[in-house]
Amino acid sequence: MSAARGFTLVELVVELAIVALAVGATAANYSRLQQAMAYQSTVRGMLAGLQLARSEALRSGRPVAFGVDLGRRRYGVEGRPESMFPDELEVRFIVAGSETAGPGQARGQIRFQPEGGATGGSLELRRPQGGGVRLRVDWLLGNVSQERIAG
């Protein structure tokens, strides 16, 4: 007599259930991973943009602005292509009153001077789950710094 080799129906159902659980867990984690990557990319992009505006002002000998438009959800260095920030990310800014524009003050900019100073201000980027980062620009020297916001 030869014994039949293979899977029983019960073993097959158990395997399919395990695969379904693994796929479900991966899909949920994938969404969180995408949000985390979009957040990190936006923080890096804004930080790089601020530093670029500062170095461009020092190099060119003319003022260069880094702008944020909350209504259009865009940011960037003047004269360069703008970048978008994700819808789920909450962005706030504090800038000099002379550097705001738009309905409800939805647009603002930080202007870097060729002598090294800036109009100063800060940008806050908050995650939907809480916490985030604050990017600060010192008005005296135009230095850009980053600090974590607890959530």
Residue 32: helix, strand or coil by DSSP? helix
Cα–Cα distance measured from residue 124 to residue 14, given in angstroms and rounded to the nearest whole number: 48
Instruction: For residue 149, give the H/E element and its range.
Output: strand 144-149
Task: Kindly report, residue by residue over 95-108, the tens digit of the pLDDT.
Answer: 887 787 755 668 89
Task: Kindly report, residue by residue over 15-65, the tens digit of the pLDDT.
Answer: 888 988 888 777 778 888 888 899 999 999 999 999 999 999 999 999 999
Output the pLDDT for position 96.
80
Output the pLDDT for position 100.
79
Cα–Cα distance measured from residue 99 to residue 123, given in angstroms and rounded to the nearest whole number: 14
- What is the DSSP track for 5-27? -S--HHHHHHHHHHHHHHHHHHH
- What is the DSSP track for 39-98? HHHHHHHHHHHHHHHHHHHHHHSS-EEEEEETTTTEEEETTS--EE--TTSEEEEEE-GG
In the chain, the domains with their CATH numbers are: 9-149 (3.55.40.10)
Average pLDDT, stretch 72-95? Answer: 93
> Is the pLDDT confidence value at 139 over 90?
yes
Q: What is the pTM of this model?
A: 0.79
> Is the pLDDT confidence value at 80 over 70?
yes
Cα–Cα distance measured from residue 93 to residue 48, given in angstroms and rounded to the nearest whole number: 17
Q: Which residues contact 95 (CB under 8 A, 6 or more apart)?
A: 108, 109, 110, 119, 120, 121
Output the pLDDT for position 3.
62
Output the pLDDT for position 106.
85
130 Cα distance to chain centroid = 14
